[in-house]
Amino acid sequence: MNAAPAEQSTSRPWRPTRALRRGGALATVPLLAAVLIGQVELVLLAVPFAVGTALSLARRPVAEAQPSLSLDQPTSVENGEVSARVQVARGDDRVPLLCVVNTEVSEWIRLRHGAGHFASLLREADTSTVRLTGTAKRWGPQRIGPATVRLSACDGLLVAERTALPAAPLSVYPLTDMFDSEEMLPRASGVSGIHRSRRPGTDGELADVRLFQVGDRLRRINWRVTQRTGDIHVNSTLSERDADVVLVLDSRHEAGVSGGVDGPDSVADATVRAAAAITDYYTRQGDRVALVEFGARLRRLRAGTGRRQLLAALEWLVRLDIDVRNVGRAYAPGGRLFSTVLQPPGALVVVLTPMLDAESANMLAVLVRTGRSMVAVDTLPERIRPAYHGPWSPAGARLWRLERENIIDRLRGVGVPVEPWRGRGSLDQMLRHVSRLAVTSRVLAR
Amino acid sequence: MSVGDHVLVRRFRYYARRLDAWARRVTPVGLAVRAVVWLTGVAALVIAAAPVVNPVGGLVLAMVLASLATGWPGTIWVGLLEFAAVAALVVAVGQGVVSLVEVGLVAALLYLHHTTAALAAQVRTDTLLSAAVLRHWLARAGAVLGVSVVVGAGIVALPATQTDWPPSAYILVGVLAATAAAAGLAYLLLRRPESA
């Protein structure tokens, strides 16, 4: 799929360079000198300049060239290929053009030939292409460009005005690995799916063996128990339903310095990659996943399932904006306002938070008190260090960590399972917590 | 105020950082193009000026002019070097202290200097050049020099076959040739190109 070309700028006519004037002068001055002093040898000086200039000008560009910058694909993933092209449209012209492209790119795009000037020869008629390929190193809204294109023809004797091309936006999705787990969700709902619900049904997992009742099908009779007890017993199974999952992303704080996909994580990296992995897992299972931003914007992606929802979620995640300037005074939406976006009430709530202030802990405590099934994923990277260094920094950092661990322990005490995110392997541990919630809710239901 | 805070030291550090940044960006091919500009410029001027000026002075002048032309290939310095070489050669030919082969060699070197400078004016030292650009440039320079050898041989051989011409005829032919060359180039430049 070709992305639409970026906004086009106007073309410019060709104009002679200093080299053309120099070549013309050196093709005639030695001839005049040869005539004036009567030495034919001096004609030799003029010959290559006259021949070279004549050969170069023999084929001049016919049409005005119109460069444009476009992406081959408007999306990519971390460590994925990024490919853009500068296309020069010039009608039926086949005159070779020297095309010098100077491209700027986002911090996290690594072009194969490096950012900067790249020169290539354009020979084809109609539309010639200069390809720019590279790798995306971090999720987020990235760009290739703006770029400047300078075209020269006739071996540098004619040149077109430098053309500025606007940047082409590129969405780089966070990397998600394939993941599989057998853990079940606490509150399966809906009419179909793969999770065991609390309601009896057919063809699901074995829940109980009970006495035969009127209406039970004969094929559900458990003959072994019937023979042993003397009464007719049947197998009782639970129906299989899908589930609602709401991911809450605490976007109020950023900490740490991102090193891209191959380097250390910041809070935003951990949050987005964890959300992408969890969304990938549940949408693949057929569950409905919604995403909510716990921050000033309170953005929400409505629930959906399947690959389409995964792509929508990835695009939503790319736009996650964590303002590093608001650390310590970030806005937290009130409990009532926040609860309105956590729909449906029976959904499993997975909160991704670095827990850097009391508001995050309060939000978790309020949610668990309202009776929601929830899991907190701690997205503060392990090796994070304070931004300022001084003689008291190590002691201060240690105190802050102790205080934070204390808060987490208190949250666990009130029933909030907190699991630190340590890469994609953490998902299994998180799902184990989810599974425990499922068992707990079944026990409570009985 | 420490020595490190002195304005000259800060200025020196600033240029050192710029030089370091340039050294990180520069590409071998970009440097090679500039090296060709420098070498052909020095060689052409030294060979042309050697018979008429002090060799050491000629060499220094050649290196200075060639360095300026290499550093700024899109400016007047390239033309200055080439016209200095032509002027020196005109004087040397007038004095009869230079051979035909040397004139041909200077002509070839000057043309290479001219065409490489035209390329260098379009690409920076940190520009990554595709191989097709260099192949095209080499092929074209080779073709121009090959055609020039044939044309030049014919021009040099012409007076030897027509020894009975009066001197005024040579002057007329020369003026006509110069005018034709200038007019031909002007026509090629100014004509309205037709569709391919």
Residues A54, B177: C-beta atoms closer than 8 Å: no
pLDDT: is A289 or A425 the higher one?
A289
Q: Which residues of B touch A150 (CB under 8 A)?
A: 122
pLDDT band at A311 (very low <50, low <70, confident <90, very high): very high
Residues 386-425 of chain A with CB under 8 A from chain B are none
Residues A119, B175: C-beta atoms closer than 8 Å: no
Residue-level pLDDT at A414: 84
Whether residue B37 is contained in a domain is answered as yes
Whether residue B33 is contained in a domain is answered as yes
* Side-chain half-sphere exposure of B131, counting CA atoms within 13 A: 0
Residues A48, B107: C-beta atoms closer than 8 Å: yes
Min CA distance, B136 vs chain A (Å)? 8
Residues B118, A155: C-beta atoms closer than 8 Å: yes
For residue B68, pLDDT over 90 is answered with: yes
For residue B110, pLDDT over 90 is answered with: yes
Whether residue B155 is contained in a domain is answered as yes
Do A292 and A154 fall within a single domain? no
Domain count across chain A: 2
What is the distance between the alpha carbons of residues B105 and B82, in angstroms, rounded to a whole number?
A: 14
Do A253 and A161 fall within a single domain? no
Give the residue on B whose Cα is nearest the Cα of A38: B171
Whether residue B195 is contained in a domain is answered as no
Residue-level pLDDT at A184: 55
Phi and psi at A315, nearest 5°, equal: -65, -35
The answer to whether the CB of B132 falls within 8 A of the CB of A121 is yes
The answer to whether the CB of A15 falls within 8 A of the CB of A159 is yes
For residue A27, pLDDT over 80 is answered with: yes
Domain with residue A365: its CATH number is: 3.40.50
Q: What is the mean pLDDT of residues A50-55?
A: 90
Whether residue A266 is contained in a domain is answered as yes
Whether residue A375 is contained in a domain is answered as yes
Sheet with A109-111, strands from edge to edge, namely A66-71, A81-89, A127-136, A109-111
The answer to whether the CB of A3 falls within 8 A of the CB of A70 is yes
Residue-level pLDDT at A1: 39
Nearest by Cα to A315 from A158, A191, A140: A140
- A347-361, A432-446, B34-48, B141-155: which has the minimum mean pLDDT? A432-446
What is the distance between the alpha carbons of residues A306 and B125, in angstroms, rounded to a whole number?
A: 51
Structural domain containing residue A88: 58-173
Q: Which residues of A touch B145 (CB under 8 A)?
A: 48
Q: Which residues of B touch A46 (CB under 8 A)?
A: 178, 181
Whether residue B104 is contained in a domain is answered as yes
- A110-124, A144-158, A212-226, B58-72: which has the minimum mean pLDDT? A110-124
Residues 305-344 of chain A with CB under 8 A from chain B are none
For residue A305, pLDDT over 70 is answered with: yes
Q: What is the mean pLDDT of residues A85-107?
A: 85
A281 alpha carbon, distance to own chain's centre: 16
Min CA distance, B175 vs chain A (Å)? 7
- Asked if B5 is an interface residue toward chain A (Cβ–Cβ < 8 A), one would say no
Q: Which residues of A touch B185 (CB under 8 A)?
A: 23-24, 27, 50, 53-54, 57
Residue-level pLDDT at A110: 87
- Asked if B41 is an interface residue toward chain A (Cβ–Cβ < 8 A), one would say no
For residue B135, pLDDT over 50 is answered with: yes
For residue B171, pLDDT over 80 is answered with: no
pLDDT band at A9 (very low <50, low <70, confident <90, very high): very low
For residue B121, pLDDT over 90 is answered with: yes
Whether residue B80 is contained in a domain is answered as yes
- Asked if A345 is an interface residue toward chain B (Cβ–Cβ < 8 A), one would say no
Residues A45, B103: C-beta atoms closer than 8 Å: yes
Residues 6-25 of chain A with CB under 8 A from chain B are 16-20, 22-25
User: Beta A97-105 vs A116-122: how paired, if at all?
Assistant: antiparallel
Do A99 and A248 fall within a single domain? no
Residue that finishes a domain, picked among A118, A138, A173:
A173
Do A297 and A429 fall within a single domain? yes
Phi and psi at B111, nearest 5°, equal: -65, -45
What is the pTM assigned to this prediction? 0.72
Nearest by Cα to A425 from A177, A248, A174: A177
pLDDT band at A90 (very low <50, low <70, confident <90, very high): confident
Mutate to test the interface with B, among A20, A26, A41, A99 (most CBs of B within 10 A): A41
Domain with residue A88: its CATH number is: 2.60.40.10
Do A397 and A307 fall within a single domain? yes
pLDDT band at B160 (very low <50, low <70, confident <90, very high): low
What is the distance between the alpha carbons of residues A439 and A421, in angstroms, rounded to a whole number?
A: 23
Instruction: Report pLDDT digits (tens) over A126-142.
Output: 677 788 888 999 998 99
Residue that finishes a domain, picked among A117, A150, A173:
A173
Do A141 and A272 fall within a single domain? no
Question: How many beta-carbon pairs under 8 angstroms link A with B?
Answer: 211
Whether residue A99 is contained in a domain is answered as yes
- Asked if B174 is an interface residue toward chain A (Cβ–Cβ < 8 A), one would say yes
Concatenate the DSSP letters of all residues of B109-161 into one string: HHHHHHHHHHHHTTS-TT-EE-HHHHHHHHHHHHHHHHHHHHHHHHHHHHHHH
Residue-level pLDDT at A10: 46
pLDDT band at A422 (very low <50, low <70, confident <90, very high): confident
Domain count across chain B: 1
Helix (H, G, I), strand (E, B) or coil at A42: helix
pLDDT: is B185 or B41 the higher one?
B41
Which amino acid does the sequence have at B34?
Answer: R
Residue that finishes a domain, picked among A127, A146, A173:
A173
- A422-431, B68-77, B84-93, B151-160: which has the minimum mean pLDDT? A422-431
Whether residue B38 is contained in a domain is answered as yes
- Asked if A115 is an interface residue toward chain B (Cβ–Cβ < 8 A), one would say no
Residues A52, B106: C-beta atoms closer than 8 Å: no
Residue-level pLDDT at A82: 92
- Strand residue runs (E) in A94-194: 97-105, 109-111, 116-122, 127-136, 140-153, 158-160, 163-165, 168-173, 188-189
Whether residue A278 is contained in a domain is answered as yes
Q: What is the mean pLDDT of residues A34-40?
A: 81
What is the distance between the alpha carbons of residues A292 and A246, in angstroms, rounded to a whole number?
A: 7
Instruction: Report pLDDT digits (tens) over A268-292.
Output: 888 998 899 889 888 887 888 999 9
Whether residue A31 is contained in a domain is answered as no
- Asked if B32 is an interface residue toward chain A (Cβ–Cβ < 8 A), one would say no
Which amino acid does the sequence have at A341?
Answer: V
Do A162 and A253 fall within a single domain? no
- Asked if B165 is an interface residue toward chain A (Cβ–Cβ < 8 A), one would say no
- A305-319, B138-152, B154-168: which has the minimum mean pLDDT? B154-168
- A167-176, A178-187, A274-283, A342-351: which has the minimum mean pLDDT? A178-187
- Asked if B151 is an interface residue toward chain A (Cβ–Cβ < 8 A), one would say yes
Whether residue A328 is contained in a domain is answered as yes
**Percent of chain A scored above 70 by pLDDT?**
80
Helix (H, G, I), strand (E, B) or coil at B8: helix
- Asked if B163 is an interface residue toward chain A (Cβ–Cβ < 8 A), one would say no
For residue A172, pLDDT over 80 is answered with: yes
Whether residue A438 is contained in a domain is answered as yes
For residue B72, pLDDT over 90 is answered with: yes
The answer to whether the CB of B77 falls within 8 A of the CB of B69 is yes
Residues B74, A26: C-beta atoms closer than 8 Å: no
Which helix (H) or strand (E) segment is A241 a member of? strand A233-250
Residues A40, B118: C-beta atoms closer than 8 Å: no
Q: What is the mean pLDDT of residues B84-106?
A: 90
Structural domain containing residue B179: 3-190
